[in-house]
């Protein structure tokens, strides 16, 4: 996969804008970048996270009830910590702050609960073309995807629901990478779409149905 930046991003949806901004900016200490409009009463409040972006997507209208995604927790490397510190945001999304290098994480890690480890191993190594330095660990630049437990994960077809909902891989050619993931056995979430002159993006899904955005962002690659 031809990456446009060596970090994955992660997104959540919430109805609690002010509480979430206070938590991520004041408690976690992330730097606010800017707000983008998604349409349909949705605003995306973007924050810097060790080269990755945290996307706090605020919905004006109540979000639909839905089972949690397979994203169990997000780890963030934080200089100055002597030991890991576990927290939860106002919606209960789990976060782990840890010293840089703890279990190999120097940027962020996205921890997954999965129905079947073997199916995810095939997906992340073959369909997504991520390297795997250890069993259940897959790398995208300096971001790690880590399988942390095998348990029942319910499939959710609505990616705009409360909680951790999707990850983003920034690539140079959305159309080509989307077709490549499907050809290698990945499942389509949404076909490539164009958002003004900002981004061309699509969604694919992992074996449990979690959404992964493939994003060709003009600010990174210079063209759409």
Could you give all domains of the chain from N- to C-terminal order, each with its CATH number? 3-221 (3.10.180.10)
The pLDDT value recorded for residue 13 is 97
Q: Strands, DSSP E only, in the chain?
A: 3-14, 31-39, 42-49, 52-59, 71-77, 85-88, 94-98, 108-114, 131-134, 137-140, 143-150, 163-171, 187-195, 199-205, 211-217
Q: Which of 184, 219, 223, 177 is nearest to 202 (CA)?
A: 177
Q: What is the pLDDT of residues 129-143, one digit of tens each?
A: 999 999 999 999 999
The pLDDT value recorded for residue 182 is 98
C-beta atoms surrounding 18 within 10 Å: 9
From residue 61, alpha-carbon distances to 36, 75, 156, 180, 224 in Å are 17, 29, 19, 36, 31
Give this prediction's pTM: 0.95
Q: In angstroms, rounded to a whole number, what is the distance separating the alpha carbons of residues 188 and 182? A: 7
The pLDDT value recorded for residue 38 is 78
The pLDDT value recorded for residue 133 is 97
Structure tokens belonging to residue 49 = 């996270």
Q: What is the pLDDT of residues 33-86, one digit of tens each?
A: 998 887 788 999 999 999 999 999 999 999 998 999 999 999 999 999 999 999
The pLDDT value recorded for residue 31 is 97
Q: In angstroms, rounded to a whole number, what is the distance separating the alpha carbons of residues 89 and 97? A: 13
């Amino acid at each position: 996969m031809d990456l446009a930046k060596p970090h994955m991003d992660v997104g959540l949806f919430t109805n609690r804008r002010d509480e979430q901004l206070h938590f991520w900016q004041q408690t976690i200490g992330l730097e606010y970048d800017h707000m983008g409009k998604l349409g349909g009463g949705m605003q995306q409040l973007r924050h810097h996270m060790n080269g990755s972006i945290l996307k706090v997507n605020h919905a004006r209208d109540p979000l639909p009830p839905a089972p949690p995604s397979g994203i169990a927790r997000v780890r963030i490397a934080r200089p100055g910590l002597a030991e890991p510190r576990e927290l939860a945001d106002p919606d209960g999304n789990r976060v782990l702050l840890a010293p840089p290098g703890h279990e190999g994480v120097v940027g962020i890690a996205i921890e997954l609960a999965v129905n079947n480890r073997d199916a995810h191993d095939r997906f992340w190594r073959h369909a997504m073309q991520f390297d795997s330095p250890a069993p259940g660990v897959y790398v995208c630049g300096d971001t790690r995807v880590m399988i942390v437990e095998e348990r029942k994960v319910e499939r959710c077809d609505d990616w705009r629901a409360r909680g951790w909902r999707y990850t983003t891989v920034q690539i140079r050619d959305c159309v080509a990478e989307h077709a490549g993931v499907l050809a290698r056995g990945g499942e389509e979430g949404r076909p490539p779409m164009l958002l003004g002159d900002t981004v061309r993006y699509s969604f694919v899904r992992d074996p449990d149905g979690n959404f992964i955005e493939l994003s060709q962002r003009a600010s990174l690659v210079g063209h759409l």
